[in-house]
Amino acid sequence: MSMPTPNTIKIGGACGFWGDSSLGTEQLLKVPGIQYITYDYLAELTLAIMAGMRMKNPEHGYALDFIDLMKRTLPAAKSKGIKIIANAGGLNPAGCAAALQQAMIEAGHTIRIGVVSGDDATGTLGQLRKDGVELRDQHSSQAAPPFFLTANAYLGAFPIAAALDAGADIVITGRVVDSAMVLGALVHEFKWQTTDLNPLAQGSLAGHIVECGAQATGGLFTDWQQVPDWANIGYPIVEVAADGGFELSKPEGTGGLVNKAVATEQLLYEIHDPANYALPDVVCDFTTVNIEETGPNRVRIYGATGKAPSDLYKVCATYPEGFRCIGMLSIVGFDAHAKAKRTGKTILERTRAMFKRQGLADYTRTSIEIIGSETDLGPHAQVQLGHEAMMRIAITHSDKKAAAIFSREIAPAGTSYAPGTSGNFGMGRPNVTPLVKMFSCFVPKHMQTAAVQVGGENIQYQEPEHPKARAETHPTTEQSFDEITVPRELLGKPLIEIAHGRSGDKGDTSNVGIVARKPEYWPVLRYLLRPENVKNHLAHLVKGEVHTFELPQVQAFNLVMKEALDGGGMTSMRNDPLGKGMAQVLLNMKITE
């Protein structure tokens, strides 16, 4: 593992989501010359979970296990001069910092903690309503609900840099864009200004690559068989130069894989239009990016360009809408799948009769999936129905009492319905939980003020002035498609034989990145991935528009599919609410003329 040169900064990404392994921290603390370790705890779904926590205990609303992790590792990090940046603060960064400070005092350690807050946008949305602004969801265009549980603006990197400038050993933030944690460190180190748009774009790309932890080092890779030693998969490291160019690697002696294909898959992850990846500090154009293998488990990534950002912050809000419950049963034996379907339908029939007798309304939504019958493949399923099946049944209801009745009627299937019915794997009666939905919109930046504290003292911070975005719309890379002759030897084969793929989500929108395995497959993919062709293959899952964008430098495509996830997040009734399997479903598409 190389030491950083005098002109590079070495940053590790130890956490890709709330619930990730502590292995990343253990590995990265041992890497020679590492200067920063970042932790990304927050997804859109995570904030909904934290909202529920805060409802139960106002002092919570942050990643509680981050405190335990830092108890074990922060003193060692400080002794090595390694700084920590984490968005573990969630909905309560001050509470997270206070809990960590108390833990450090009790252990006899002196740690200078920085806090970035000011992302709470509930007041901003309230003021916009008072001003007569009609708030609508950016994805669905639906009107805003009457009230919000939470609302948080996605802040940028400069408040993080300010906390580091003031001497913080660790910076805890609320909602910032995921890449801002790496970019904040780079702004601090290289003294980048808001006008340094290309370095800001490259630094944001470095943050984007490592923000999901081991996804940058072989996790979720299409060719998973090539990835060695999952048990000790290495977490990502970027060594970033003053112009923003960087090399991606992993700790020596660890598992995982870093190559061009892995890095390209992660480049495409959840970026929407690659020519206009909008962040608070810069609009990134990733169509100009180059990725080169420079050695074993090491790639160089460079060439991203930047444009001036808008004068808006994205806001993700949550609101309650009834209750949900999900039950599962294992069914074994002859006709297992038919028995599973009938079991699910019977549970709904029985509970609806109970509701009627008790004067309760019907379900607002229901879903029955038979896992093991290739439900995600829809009409393309080819499975020979076997001797066992998993019945997954999900409901939503406006009344908690009705949802509780449903919960109690799962277990009786074990004695009342089909032979071979087993339980729900020792998990007990399914829980009834509040249904928390998400709402996304934009607010003027001047209405949202970031705040910075270091060592318990307020730091004077004012968001620096950003360049003005041009009035004209940034051109996209959405493509028209030429007719070609598909090589005969490829006809009838699944797409996976000529492409890699990775999928992610943003609300109810699915994002699928597709990468050509060889240069000669590029024109074939360009022809096959026509929006109407993709929409036809995924019609059982995707209800909205399909847009195809291309990145010719890395011979890849990014597919953006709207109304694709049954609402997405906690709203979705599907077994795969985040569309993690969407790329796998698309890669099953047969190559045709």
48-57 confidence digits (pLDDT tens): 789 878 888 9
Please check the confidence at residue 286 and state whether its pLDDT lies above 80.
yes
The per-residue DSSP string of 519-534 comes to GGGHHHHHHHT-HHHH
Pick the CATH number of 320-437 from 3.30.565, 3.30.70, 1.25.40, 1.20.950: 3.30.70
User: What pTM was computed for the model?
Assistant: 0.95
pLDDT band, very low/low/confident/very high, at 171 (cuts 50, 70, 90):
very high
pLDDT of 233-250, one tens digit each?
999 999 999 999 999 999
Of 46-55, 116-125, 275-284, 536-545, least confident by mean pLDDT is 46-55
pLDDT in tens, 407-466: 999 999 999 999 999 876 567 899 999 898 899 999 999 999 999 999 999 999 999 999
Alpha carbons 222 and 587: distance in angstroms, whole number: 10
Contacts 24+ apart (CB under 8 A), 455-463: 455/112, 455/113, 455/114, 455/166, 455/167, 455/168, 456/101, 456/113, 459/162, 459/163, 459/166, 461/159, 461/162, 463/158, 463/159
> What pLDDT shows up at residue 485?
86
Quick: pLDDT tens for 186-226: 999 999 999 999 999 999 999 999 999 999 999 999 999 99
At how many degrees (to 10) do helices 64-79 and 93-106 cross?
60
pLDDT classification of 31: cutoffs 50, 70, 90: very high
pLDDT at position 476 is 59
Distance CA 109, CA 74 (A): 9
Burial grade of 359 (CB within 10 A; 0-12, 13-18, 19 or more) = exposed
Do 50 and 6 form a contact (C-beta atoms < 8 A)?
no
CATH architecture entry for 488-587: 2-Layer Sandwich (3.30)
Confidence grade of residue 472 (pLDDT, cut at 50, 70, 90): very low
What residues does 499 pair with on adjacent strands?
516
CA–CA distance, 74 with 111 (Å, rounded to integer) = 9
- Interatomic CA distance for residues 179 and 169, integer angstroms: 19
Distance CA 495, CA 57 (A): 49
pLDDT category at 477 given cuts 50, 70, 90 is low
Position 2 confidence tier, pLDDT thresholds 50, 70, 90: low
pLDDT at 1 over 80: no
Of 3, 4, 28, 2, the closest CA to residue 14 belongs to: 28
Distances (CA, A) of 318 to 147, 357, 403, 512, 562: 9, 34, 21, 25, 20
Q: Which of 400, 457, 458, 411 is nearest to 433 (CA)?
A: 400
Q: What is the mean pLDDT of the chain?
A: 95
3-state helix, strand, coil in the chain (%, to 5): 30, 25, 40
The sign of the dihedral angle between the CA atoms of 181, 182, 188, 191 is: negative
Q: What is the pLDDT of residue 383?
A: 75
The pLDDT, as a whole number, for residue 52 is 79
DSSP H or E run through 546: strand 546-551
Bridge-based pairing of strands 83-86 and 36-39 is parallel
Cβ pair 588, 495 in contact under 8 A: yes
Compute the half-sphere exposure of residue 330: CA atoms within 13 Å on the CB side of its CA.
9
Q: Do residues 513 and 268 lie in contact, with contact meaning Cβ atoms separated by under 8 Å?
A: yes
Mean pLDDT of 119-139: 95
Q: What is the 3-state secondary structure (H, E, C) of 79-129?
A: HCCCEEEECCCCCCHHHHHHHHHHHHHHCCCCCCEEEEECCECHHHHHHHH
Residues of the chain with CATH 3.30.70: 320-437, 488-587
Q: Contact at 8 Å (CB) between 325 and 348?
A: no
Q: What is the dihedral of CA 230, 234, 236, 237, to 10 degrees?
A: -170
Task: Calculate Rg over the CA atoms of the chain.
Answer: 25
Q: Which two tokens stand for residue 592?
A: 């045709």
